[in-house]
Chain A
Amino acid sequence: MPHNALIEKLPHRRMEAWKWTDVRGASMSEPQGLSAACNPTIAAPSGIDISTEGVAPSENVMGKLATTFAHNATIITVPAGFKSGAPVLLSDMKSGHARLIFKIGKGAEISVTETHASNAASFVNIDMRFDLAQGAKLNRTIFHNDSADVTRISTAQINAWADAEITQHTLSFGAGLTRFETRIASLGENLQADVHGAYLLGENRHCDMTSYIDLGGENARIRQSVKGVVTDKARGVFQGKFHVRRPAQFTDAEMRHDAIMLSDTCQVRAKPELEIYADDVACAHGNTVGALDESALFYMRQRGLPAKQARALLTQAFVAQSFENMVDKSDFMARITDWLELNS
């Protein structure tokens, strides 16, 4: 496909869902990988089957693009009742388009750990789908650390049948342009979802955390919390949406996005949305943006902490809230500490 025709297909800022993340604008110079396939490395515990198959493309614009260049999808099948202490490890997603489909059987429990990292300028588009059968449990951990000239879009469509449980923790240090989009569709009752994340951005980096949680069954319980820290000329974007359909009575859903701005030139954009058609529900969202609390800083400095350390400490405590319930958060916390060393 010639570059001009390809550019036409990319989402751009005149599209409502992409107004703050202009993929077309970032791809004008034809980055490496824009029209290539990507083959991620997948390490899975035994008992999990991996194959490739031609399946219909995802509905969304980036998913269609992934099908154009990656053709077949890699299918990762987790059999019913499967349990393992070891996670499925996904890595080497450095350049190009990839399609991954996880089929998680009845009552199976699986952890998926994704490392999205590239140290060379490139375009990456990962289109994922997770199908959770009844009672399946998915624990997804996403770590993202690209060099500042990467454009990365990662979209995950998670379809959950009754009694499914989803836990997701995302930590991103941004890239030239990044979007982590999580789309959850509940097709049964009693969905439990904890979708948390944090972005820490410096330089000219950009990170967009978008989610769309579409509830169609009764009794869902959703907790979402995203924390953002931006400095230099970075831009943080949060777009969240709960779509509570008429049958989804007794939904209990909470969404939070809080961001701290550490420089005069950074930007934060947020759009926490609710679309609700069921009446017996409790849904809430909150959003705050501001600087670090001066009085808390003053308190710490009064007690002898240097300004830099006080700022780092406060910021770390703020970000840590998103990972409170994470089973093993030591790696995330260490990386956050490293980042704060350099950026506070």
Chain B
Amino acid sequence: MGEVKNIAKDAIEAKTVEGVAGLEADKYKYGFESDIEQEFAPKGLNEDIVRFISEKKNEPDWMLKWRLDAYARWLTMEEPTWAMVDYPKIDYQDAYYYAAPKSDKDGPKSLDEVDPDLLEVYKKLGIPLKEQEVLAGVQGAPRVAVDAVFDSVSVVTTFKEELAKVGVIFCPLSEAVQKHPELVKKYLGTVVPPTDNYFATLNTAVFSEGSFVYIPPGVRCPMELSTYFRMNAQGTGQFERTLIIADKGSYVSYLEGCTAPMRDENQLHAAVVELIVLEDAEIKYSTVQNWWPGDAEGKGGVYNFVTKRADCRGKNSKVSWTQVETGSAITWKYPSCVLRGDGSSGEFYSIAITNGFQQADTGTKMIHLGKNTKSRIISKGISAGKSNQTYRGLVSAHKKATGARNFTQCDSLLIGDQCGAHTVPYIETNTPSAQFEHEATTSKLSDEQLFYCRQRGLSEEDAVALLVNGFCRDVLQKLPMEFAVEAQKLVAISLEGSVG
């Protein structure tokens, strides 16, 4: 075991060095655009577009009604302004709400039918999880199930059969609507209701793709599930929706990684993720988000307005959110846990790095409703360049949440004197037996440590990357191996040009 660990560790180190060294020339290596024919819904948003999307997906009437209700509600809502982010007003009528690769018309039945251009895209992405091999059907490819979302339609879902053997359902949400309507009907929108907030309501009306996962009772999902979201068509907002249900005593680890091609216009991304955890079950949800942050002048970049929430419904259920946020021009994201079941626990581990003109307002909510519920929040924020970031979190205990425990630590690091780091925690307690602790610090990189590293021959940039990686260690350790490698690289990449 020790040897395996060492090999893995060496691999990480080698890749980190490689990542730092190899980036001079290619600042945003995922910044390209592929020319696959797209089928667009007309620009703009109205009831007809909602109907169009629903029809494209061949959805049943109840689903269409659900969407239309959400759309009607959305029209009455106002865009929230409380977050500490500043961006020009979004013209919701000036975007496409549906784009699908044309080749999807007949639905690819095997890899041979997949548009070769699409495969080329995967190649260009230099996908770390060897999806290349998986997609090419190579024997002995790593056991990671990939549901690749290409713009708005799921193109290929692999490993389905193997998962089906143990009863795990892992498929595009649109397929689940057709094949497992009872599960979708029972759970969709029960964690993030259609009326939840402006962006979630918009998503409910126009979401076009996403993943659906159901883990049956007592099953430990035999592999890590992974979805790559990559936005591609110019001016297309991506509204995906993920629904994961872990039935009694089950376990699943879900990985979500994102990169988006470089472009000029701001792209709107309003996703909804719902996790439902029943008795004794556990979901581990990891995200690496590396969407285009905009150029050196702060032009362009992705607007990332995401609603993620987990509902720990059963006794002793557990949810763990881990996120590495390095991309997007604007981030507005608060993965939350509703700790309903007695003894349930929630964790939130986050690294947020902002550079250039990026703005991030991110954090979590831990809502303690059940007895003896536990939560832990570790948030590491690093601001560089002219960026601003805010940790915004809520920890609350209901009157009945006796014995609730929370520990929160949010540390911020400032690199350079043109950036900002902010902390806005909310603590609400209604029971004396809840014990809540919150600690936060803000500081700059220690000159002593920098000096020590430089003295030993590291360049300033390498030294900063090393120290920041150390600062984030608590969180990086919580990531699954594949992500830890990518995340360490990202930490270094994101801070490039922030010193000297």
Q: Which residues of A contact B (CB under 8 A)?
A: 16, 246, 249, 259-291
Contact = CB atoms under 8 A, between A and B. Distances in A.
A267 B429 contact: yes
B44 to A, nearest CB: 32
A246 B439 CA distance: 23
Interface centre among A262, A268, A269 (most CB of B within 10 A): A268
B425 A263 contact: no
Interface secondary structure of A, over-half rule: strand
Interface in B430-466: 430-444
A276 B437 CA distance: 22
B481 interface: no
B419 interface: yes
A206 to B, nearest CB: 14
Contact of B440 (A261, A263, A271, A284): A284
Given A246-B418, A264-B431, A271-B427, 9 more contacts: A269-B426, A269-B429, A270-B438, A277-B420, A280-B417, A281-B414, A287-B427, A288-B435, A289-B427
Interface centre among A266, A274, A277, A282 (most CB of B within 10 A): A274
B439 A286 contact: yes
B412 A287 contact: no
Interface secondary structure of B, over-half rule: strand
A129 B416 CA distance: 35
Contacts of B442: 274, 276, 281-284
B117 interface: no
A281 B248 CA distance: 48
Contacts of A283: 441-443
A284 B421 CA distance: 12
A273 B423 contact: yes
A276 B433 CA distance: 33
Contacts of A289: 427, 429, 434-436
A268 B427 contact: yes
B51 interface: no
A268 B421 CA distance: 26
Contacts of B415: 279
Nearest to B442: A283
B23 to A, nearest CB: 24
Contacts of B436: 287-290
Contact of A279 (B417, B425, B427): B417
B417 A285 contact: no
B441 A16 contact: no
28 contacts: A16-B82, A261-B431, A266-B432, A267-B429, A267-B430, A269-B426, A270-B425, A271-B424, A273-B422, A273-B425, A275-B422, A276-B412, A276-B420, A276-B422, A277-B420, A279-B444, A280-B444, A281-B414, A283-B442, A284-B439, A284-B441, A285-B423, A286-B437, A286-B438, A287-B427, A287-B436, A287-B438, A290-B434
A254 B44 CA distance: 50
Contacts of B444: 279-281
Contacts of A273: 422-425
Interface centre among B418, B423, B425 (most CB of A within 10 A): B423
B133 interface: no
A265 B432 CA distance: 8
A269 B427 contact: yes
A55 B82 CA distance: 33
Nearest to B432: A261
A270 B436 CA distance: 11
A267 B433 CA distance: 12
